[in-house]
Structure 1
């Protein structure tokens, strides 16, 4: 007979939350980490330490990733602060305005602690219990906010990539079932699948092409439509492409509308696209990873009018909902659409459980193990409130318009989107009389120097072959004074680099 060992005699007992020693260690650990983080953030308005990639890599390469006997949390936390925290991007800085990378709300950060501690797995009810119904309630609320019909449904996802993939997966399988009577889940793609086509704007997110490749259709299945002067999908061009596809015997099965392009924040004409989708009997997926937050706006909600007519929708909460990464949702107008990804396993989600009221969310997800990310949004909505959410979102959109007007009036600058729809402003330092080649070089150097110095983090992008800078104004703590300081820095750096090149 094997002798039972008293586990409290082992050092690892303090590493788990089921005894007094563990509870004390938990409390002390939180205080230690909290101190390191507040030391980093307190009074630190710089978006980055300025170290180059190879410098950080070299510093970290000298640290062993594990210890044989274990170290104190204090020692590891000191190391963490010196080598990781202090060289992290400071998303809370008002001058961190590069990507769609938001500062995080304190209630959401608190929720992360609950999520990690409770460690619920959102695939089956018996691994998540109450968490299942919190997510279900939030999905119902989101569908209602968007204006989807009563039979709508959804699931939390890791973000836009997964949600866009799911939208095109369901669209593909629904079309194959309707057009050829083929159950792709059971029998695979029909031989005619090489005729399937997806339509989206040339400014659509790269994950449309990526999804087409992963779905066995190839990137060639994606037909990109030219955009208009406001960087939105052109309906005339769409209609022209639809006629060409018909003549070629090709089969469009989905239109992807972008509700907030990555560079310009532009919103495709949703009503017209929904009409085109209905007319041609194809699926409309709206990628509202960026612009979906306008459902909470008071001043700009009309910008996404028509989104309620979509067959499926992507919404990200780690952008304008100010949630820690990762947190997103995928919504469908008809819950029956999830039939194309359902699979029942006896050990996880047997069908008979449904009759007993056990909701297994894995039935609606391409993921199995999944975090309780819905809690972050739930706590934020409850603590912050819808009115404050609207104020924060609307402020950033107002600021972007003010910034675009200001830059447009500045000598030596060019703005591409003079009337931004959301809160992204694309511009460049453009001294008169200089070649495009030199101006491109100057803008690259300016962007890199601002980051290296820690003065500001702006993104850079290309439009029609030329280099531009981009301010993505997600942070409601960013003020026009911060922007004025950054523009002054750009002008000084531009003159300096120009003299160096002459």
Structure 2
């Protein structure tokens, strides 16, 4: 079996692949935003292919690209107003190709010194952007869920010096994690993974501004006195998934400092605001945190999954993950470097950071600021157009996440469901429904740097037409 193919075959395969990918990338708007969920047809398409002996590369590429075009929600579409899944910039796509070809192994510094040093440079750059000092640290992760899991592990190792050795069995009290009821559910998943259990995640109600209620938080902390529980950490969210709300980070920081509690900020989405002079003040207080989760695959528009965990505690990642082995390469033992496998959950590691590094080489920080500002402006435009057309806005954020409904149908729970189903079945736009304090609202988020006022006007027209049809029933 010739896995490499020869030079001529490789060129033909790449040309075939490029033609298919270029057609989709350049004509994304011509595709339906979302597929018909025909599970029988999908499975028949997959199971009918020859896997014992294989098929020709051309037929294989045709099969995969056609089915991805037919059976995917097209998040790169300019009228995908969805869940923080943007169009990948071209630098990020090329970076993935380069990484797959060179396939550097980032477990050991000596195996991929260029790649490891690039990621360390980026960690320092982002730490500086978020206001951390030079003693900060961090690591690239496969997603925000891994970064949040890393934060909980760091908080445990910080609070309990023997946690790495004794684990949960060495604790004399049950650690409690506090977060908003709007926080991402990766927090509950992480609590399950580390062995705390999600019952030890305390969800704090939100205020009328949809922020974590700091008064209730302080009461909950007082109630822990002389109990079997002990506060482990408080998680503030900078850009909640549902409403794009940023918690009161300065206030949360003060509470954590007063009570000697680890303060983590999940800025998976909203962290991108730090790259904009117009928006960065929205994240005031994040620089006082002990750790931060940031997803570059959201507002930085690089392929998934590209996330970053940052911490202001320079020694905590080593304390949490350090381990020694006999079989790992020793070439860098005499150098002042950190071995990556001792620094994160992952062992074998992909060159995740190249997607960000190459994007910065292509576009620069200035290019990113322009892109983020554009999306924020499109968010403002959408909000204004909705208001002009008689819609009411139910959330309040400077991030381009808009939750809205019609006042006359606010208590009609069938309204959003039926209108959404019709819009999705049309395949021209994609948005979602999100409940705010029990009331369902439409949720639209600008996630694509190619989204224009024309795209937004088309969405408004669709919504208005569906409302008219619903009202006639």
TM-score by length of 1: 0.89
Distance of 1:341 and 1:421 partners within structure 2: 37
Report the Cα offset of residue 41 of structure 1. Answer: 3.6
Residue among 233, 243, 247 paired with 1:264: 243
Residue among 182, 195, 210 paired with 1:216: 195
| Deviation by residue 1:69-95 (Cα, 9 ceiling, x = unmatched) | x32211112222332233323222210
Q: Is the 8 A contact 1:52 1:452 kept in 2?
A: no
Say whether residues 1:82 and 2:66 are aligned partners.
yes
Residue among 206, 226, 235 paired with 2:185: 206
In the other structure, the counterpart of 1:93 is 77
Distance of 1:78 and 1:27 partners within structure 2: 16
Shift of the 126–243 alpha-carbon distance from structure 1 to 2, 3 Å rule, reads: same
Say whether residues 1:33 and 2:6 are aligned partners.
no
- Superposed CA RMSD in Å reads 2.1
Report the Cα offset of residue 48 of structure 1. Answer: 2.5
Q: How many pairs are equivalent?
A: 471
In the other structure, the counterpart of 2:420 is 447
Shift of the 47–278 alpha-carbon distance from structure 1 to 2, 3 Å rule, reads: farther
Q: Is the 8 A contact 2:237 2:246 kept in 1?
A: yes
Distance of 2:144 and 2:306 partners within structure 1: 9
| Deviation by residue 1:172-203 (Cα, 9 ceiling, x = unmatched) | 121122xxxxx122122246455211111111
Report the Cα offset of residue 328 of structure 1. Answer: 0.5
Q: Write out aligned runs for 1:330-369 (5 A).
A: 330-338=309-317, 339-348=319-328, 353-357=332-336, 359-369=338-348
Residue among 394, 414, 422 paired with 2:399: 422
In the other structure, the counterpart of 1:8 is none
5+ residue gaps, structure 2: none
Q: Write out aligned runs for 1:114-153 (5 A).
A: 114-153=98-137
Structure 1, 466-475 or 156-165: larger mean CA deviation: 466-475
Distance of 1:194 and 1:483 partners within structure 2: 52
In the other structure, the counterpart of 1:188 is 167
In the other structure, the counterpart of 1:398 is 377
Residue among 465, 469, 472 paired with 1:496: 469
Shift of the 404–337 alpha-carbon distance from structure 1 to 2, 3 Å rule, reads: same
In the other structure, the counterpart of 2:27 is 43
Residue among 30, 39, 49 paired with 1:54: 39
Shift of the 442–205 alpha-carbon distance from structure 1 to 2, 3 Å rule, reads: same
Q: Is the 8 A contact 1:267 1:421 kept in 2?
A: no
Residue among 43, 48, 53 paired with 1:63: 48
Distance of 2:407 and 2:43 partners within structure 1: 38
Aligned partner of residue 376 in structure 1, secondary structure? helix
Q: Is the 8 A contact 2:392 2:407 kept in 1?
A: no
Residue among 205, 226, 230 paired with 1:251: 230
Distance of 1:365 and 1:268 partners within structure 2: 27
Shift of the 193–390 alpha-carbon distance from structure 1 to 2, 3 Å rule, reads: farther
| Deviation by residue 1:423-469 (Cα, 9 ceiling, x = unmatched) | 110112x362x573xx3223122222222221101022222333221
Report the Cα offset of residue 353 of structure 1. Answer: 4.0
Report the Cα offset of residue 498 of structure 1. Answer: 4.7
Aligned partner of residue 427 in structure 1, secondary structure? strand
| Deviation by residue 1:208-260 (Cα, 9 ceiling, x = unmatched) | 11111222211111112222222111222221221122254521010111111
Distance of 2:344 and 2:430 partners within structure 1: 36
Aligned partner of residue 471 in structure 1, secondary structure? strand
Residue among 456, 467, 470 paired with 2:429: 456
Aligned partner of residue 286 in structure 1, secondary structure? strand
In the other structure, the counterpart of 2:274 is 295
Q: Is the 8 A contact 2:302 2:356 kept in 1?
A: yes
In the other structure, the counterpart of 1:180 is none
In the other structure, the counterpart of 1:102 is 86
5+ residue gaps, structure 1: 1-10, 178-182
Aligned partner of residue 65 in structure 2, secondary structure? helix
Shift of the 435–305 alpha-carbon distance from structure 1 to 2, 3 Å rule, reads: closer
Residue among 409, 412, 417 paired with 2:388: 409
Distance of 1:425 and 1:375 partners within structure 2: 32
In the other structure, the counterpart of 1:277 is 256
Q: Is the 8 A contact 1:108 1:380 kept in 2?
A: yes
